[in-house]
């Protein structure tokens, strides 16, 4: 009996040893992938995005509030950054010529700042989707706190496979989530599918500069910078505004328009960096863990990308024909 137990204990110790070696090896692999800025697989992206926003959204909300996107900086020297974020939503809607909406979908909704703003502005229903359970839950909590629980709801779902019927929404809204999508064609197909005939689609997203005549790709230096940003923010390969236009055209979209608002949002990252240089933010940063710290460092890389003219803040809008 003792001997049998003895063997069982040794076996257990052996299995635990193997498990520890495996865990160590996978940590080493992750460190190596980070150092070499290896591209994420689709599965790694999905899990990584959910975890990144689960861990960092509370800190962002504590420091910046409910909007997780750039602000609108006209005039350039404005200092009320939260108002600048709200204004960005209004200015994008104005640019997209959205005068009313009955039902809107917020694809990649964060904690739902845009959804609730749109619900109030047009007195309409909104549904938001995110990969992060924390964000969906917080979005619903805030809707309740703001008396919007009958208008705005949030759930965990994948933008590449949305849980909505065809032709459901007259406003399809995606603000700074497109850059996370590993399959832009599928992303656009889904946006188009859930849009109602005559409905308006608005995508605001990080893109690269369009290629010049004679260029076949970005430079090595540009690609290297993007790989570092991708690692920090869980992004796949980047595309340009023109790439989006091509896939929207393939869908049969009409009234396609694009614009580069990089100059309008330019002061934003400097403001974020400044806001993170206080004790509360720094403590929050360390509490949120490695990926949030790396995300904070990547803000400098984003600034560099904008300055190089590599990264653009792109707007794309179109209509689904009747």
Give the footprint of ligand SAM on this chain (CB under 6 A). 49, 53, 67-69, 108-110, 113-114, 129-132, 135, 158-160, 175-177, 180-181
The H-assigned helical ranges of 76-161 are 81-95, 113-122, 133-145
Tokens 């396609």 correspond to 256
Distance of closest approach, residue 158 Cβ to ligand SAM, in angstroms? 5
Distance of closest approach, residue 2 Cβ to ligand SAM, in angstroms? 54
SS3 of 88, please? helix
C-alpha separations of 237 from 75, 181, 225, 258 in Å: 33, 9, 12, 20
Count of CB atoms situated within 10 Å of the CB of 115: 30
Distance of closest approach, residue 134 Cβ to ligand SAM, in angstroms? 10
Distance of closest approach, residue 132 Cβ to ligand SAM, in angstroms? 5
Backbone angles phi, psi at 128, to 5 degrees: -115, 145
Distance of closest approach, residue 135 Cβ to ligand SAM, in angstroms? 5
Cβ proximity to ligand SAM, 69 vs 312, nearer residue:
69
Distance of closest approach, residue 3 Cβ to ligand SAM, in angstroms? 54
Cβ proximity to ligand SAM, 108 vs 213, nearer residue:
108
Give the residue among 285, 275, 269 at the shortest CA–CA distance from 59: 285
Under a CB-based contact definition with an 8 Å cutoff, are residues 64 and 80 in contact?
Answer: no
Task: State the chain's maximal CA–CA distance in angstroms.
Answer: 82
Distance of closest approach, residue 54 Cβ to ligand SAM, in angstroms? 9
Cβ proximity to ligand SAM, 70 vs 320, nearer residue:
70
Cβ proximity to ligand SAM, 65 vs 256, nearer residue:
65
- Cα separation, 202 vs 225, whole angstroms: 28
- Cα separation, 304 vs 209, whole angstroms: 14
- DSSP type of residue 180: G
- Cα separation, 63 vs 276, whole angstroms: 8
Distance of closest approach, residue 213 Cβ to ligand SAM, in angstroms? 33
Distance of closest approach, residue 81 Cβ to ligand SAM, in angstroms? 14
Give the residue among 182, 174, 246, 172 at the shortest CA–CA distance from 47: 182
Cβ proximity to ligand SAM, 68 vs 93, nearer residue:
68
- Cα separation, 219 vs 232, whole angstroms: 21
- Cα separation, 219 vs 229, whole angstroms: 16
Under a CB-based contact definition with an 8 Å cutoff, are residues 198 and 170 in contact?
Answer: yes
Cβ proximity to ligand SAM, 156 vs 256, nearer residue:
156
Cβ proximity to ligand SAM, 117 vs 209, nearer residue:
117
Cβ proximity to ligand SAM, 122 vs 134, nearer residue:
134
Cβ proximity to ligand SAM, 6 vs 53, nearer residue:
53
What the block records as the tokens of 126 is: 């909104």
């Amino acid at each position: 009996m003792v001997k049998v137990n003895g063997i069982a204990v040794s076996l257990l110790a052996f299995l635990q040893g193997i498990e520890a070696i495996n865990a160590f090896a996978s940590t080493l692999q992750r460190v190596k992938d980070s150092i070499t800025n290896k591209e994420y697989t689709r599965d790694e992206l999905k899990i990584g995005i959910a975890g990144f926003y689960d861990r960092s959204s509370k800190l962002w909300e504590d420091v910046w509030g409910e909007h997780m996107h750039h602000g609108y900086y006209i005039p350039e020297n404005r200092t009320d950054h939260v108002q600048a974020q709200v204004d960005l939503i209004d200015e994008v809607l104005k640019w997209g010529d959205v005068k009313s909406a009955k039902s809107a979908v917020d694809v990649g909704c964060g904690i739902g700042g845009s959804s609730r703003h749109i619900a109030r502005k047009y007195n309409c229903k909104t549904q938001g989707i995110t990969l992060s359970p924390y964000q969906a839950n917080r979005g619903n909590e805030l809707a309740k706190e703001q008396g919007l629980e009958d208008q705005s709801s949030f759930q965990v779902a994948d933008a590449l496979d949305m849980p909505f019927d065809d032709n459901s929404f007259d406003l399809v809204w995606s603000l700074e989530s497109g850059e996370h999508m590993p399959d832009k064609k599928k992303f656009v197909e889904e946006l188009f599918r859930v849009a109602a005939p005559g409905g308006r689609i608005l995508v605001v997203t990080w893109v690269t500069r369009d290629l010049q005549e004679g260029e076949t790709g970005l430079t090595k230096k540009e690609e290297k910078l993007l790989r570092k940003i991708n690692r920090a923010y869980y992004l796949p390969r980047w595309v340009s505004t023109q790439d989006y236009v091509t896939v929207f055209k393939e869908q049969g979209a009409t009234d396609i328009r694009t614009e580069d608002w990089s100059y309008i949002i330019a002061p934003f990252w400097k403001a974020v960096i400044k806001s993170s240089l206080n004790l509360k933010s720094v403590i929050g940063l360390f509490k949120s863990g490695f990926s949030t710290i790396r995300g904070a460092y990547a803000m400098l890389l984003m600034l560099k990308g904008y300055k190089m003219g590599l990264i653009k803040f792109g707007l794309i809008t179109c209509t689904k024909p009747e």
